[in-house]
Amino acid sequence: MSHVIGYVFDSNDQYEDKWWFDDTIDNYAQFIYMNRAYNVMITDAADIMICTGMYGYIDQLNSQYQHILPELRDVITAYQFGDKTSTLKFVNAGYRLMVQSGMSLL
């Protein structure tokens, strides 16, 4: 399965970490909803924007991804109303721990 990158921006439009996760509509919705207090962006592995979110809602969607809008909106709504709950699994947790502890990747 391919992966996407999630960014969470602070009030100065800066991000601290890249969050890699599996490329699914459900994961997009979870990432946007779980970071509803922030502006977020999801990109593909080449860092091309897929979508942005604000306050737990879809803000912008790349024109190449317009076909996912109805399903993405439905899944986000399900999270907002508590009809759906799950835990988003990030694929970069091990890498982040290595970097934070000063371990080398080589």
- In the Cβ-directed half-sphere of 56, how many Cα atoms lie within 13 Å? 12
What pTM value is reported for the model? 0.84
pLDDT of residue 93: 54
Q: Which residues contact 83 (CB under 8 A, 6 or more apart)?
A: none
Alpha helices in the chain (DSSP H): 25-34, 69-80, 93-101
Task: Examine the pLDDT at 68 and tell me if it is beyond 50.
Answer: yes
Mean pLDDT of the chain, nearest integer: 88
pLDDT in tens, 9-52: 999 999 988 899 999 999 999 999 999 999 999 999 999 999 99
Radius of gyration of the chain (CA): 14
- In the Cβ-directed half-sphere of 38, how many Cα atoms lie within 13 Å? 18
- CB 4 within 8 Å of CB 44: yes
DSSP track, 48-71: -EEEEEETTEEEEE-GGGGGGHHH
pLDDT of residue 47: 94
DSSP letter at 81? T
pLDDT in tens, 75-94: 999 999 999 998 899 987 54
Domain parsing of the chain, residue ranges? 3-101
Q: Give the separation between CA 9 and CA 102, rounded to whole angstroms.
A: 24
pLDDT of residue 97: 44
